[in-house]
Chain A
Amino acid sequence: MTERDQLDRSRRRMLLGFLVGFGVWEGMSIARALLGRASLPGVVRHGLFVVSLVGWAYCCVQLIHMIRWGRRVRRDPELTASLNDERVELARLKSWRVGFFAVLVAQAIPLLAPIPAIVGGRLTILVGLTASIGSYLAFDRE
């Protein structure tokens, strides 16, 4: 396998890892914020916090990998161009569009359910990010 394909594959892995980490982190935080209002047993609350923390840590690890990946790729303009070829650009554009509409839909959730503003904000970020990265991974499939 060429270096280009290895980097392409590792980009996919990093994005998937980031998606999972971010989903767990924010998902658990939102669950804590929503369920916290009810009288939850301490074990459950702490459990959600620990899972959320693990998600955050995993997310951070993936971010560090992404920064290192970016530095490695930027050193070679030819590699940068081929890793961002027109198919990748198209997948990126389409996934941004999916993310945009997902955010619009997420904005309607607080209108339908009475949730705190901070939870609404976090939900918007979670939905937008998950939809755009998830759809990118789907469009980028062979």
Chain B
Amino acid sequence: MDIILSTKNLKKYFETKYGLVRAVDGISFNVIYGETFALVGESGSGKSTTGHMIVGIYEPTSGKIYFKGQDISVPASKRPRFLRREIQIVFQDPASSLNPSMYIKDIVGMPMRVHGIVRDEGELKEKVMELLEEVDLPPEYYMYKKPRELGGGELQAVAIARALSTNPKLIILDEPTSALDVITQTKIIRLLTRLQQKQNLTYIFITHDLAVVRNFATRVAVMYLGKIVEVAPVNELFLRPQHPYTMMLLSSVPVISDEEEKIKPRKVRSVGEIPSAISPPPGCRFHTRCPFAMDICKTQEPELRLIDKAKQHWVACHLVQMK
């Protein structure tokens, strides 16, 4: 299993007037070639910040990011050009991530201009048509439209075409379907799956929608308040969740059928809210909301440990590690 991206004790702190916000506080994970690695957690858990550091929007406060073995722990502007091409991102809200005054053709073509991938306008047009074709938008109809003339799903398809334009290896999907309704969401996920198989792409899928994760991801990392609390392959995580926080997330998902109700883990009632990342609780950060918290949880931080070698299931919880 070849690793395309790995992070080592990655941290990102933001200085604010209220104090230091520890958005991401020491996370390490590996992403394997061709997989869909999901980062899930509530808002404020640091999942988007992690994604943004990988594309190079933020510089890590400390820790390392390796892409194909090469250290890329610097913002995008300091990375070599060819590396910038290889990592792309699709944002949550396509209406605000696409320039409203540009034609779709120019939006999709912009990265190719910037990176000098095309020689002239003719080639650019050809490439754009190819890309639009690829994401199921008939080019003759869409090329000269502006974002406001399109629906949410079509816009997200445009954003995907733009991300594909530099021929990337890794795409960060930052809640790509959260702003869409279910029918459109299905279309986008289908499209992403097809593209992945065809172009051998690796995805880092950031989301809080666990039902989509179940159907789309291969491995999942659950984040809470800047830390990773559990990592496992998708089936393992959904059928044998170990961390109380993962159980809380899973048992909160509103479902529509009895079969789904059956596979939910034992009910962990959701109480309280995610604490401030300025002064995270000592010990295990989840202990303030955890129904099983013990004394040790309040003082000693649990490490992320391998509990099942064959399944590569990692958990950071005293309760699980004691068993």
Bound together:
no
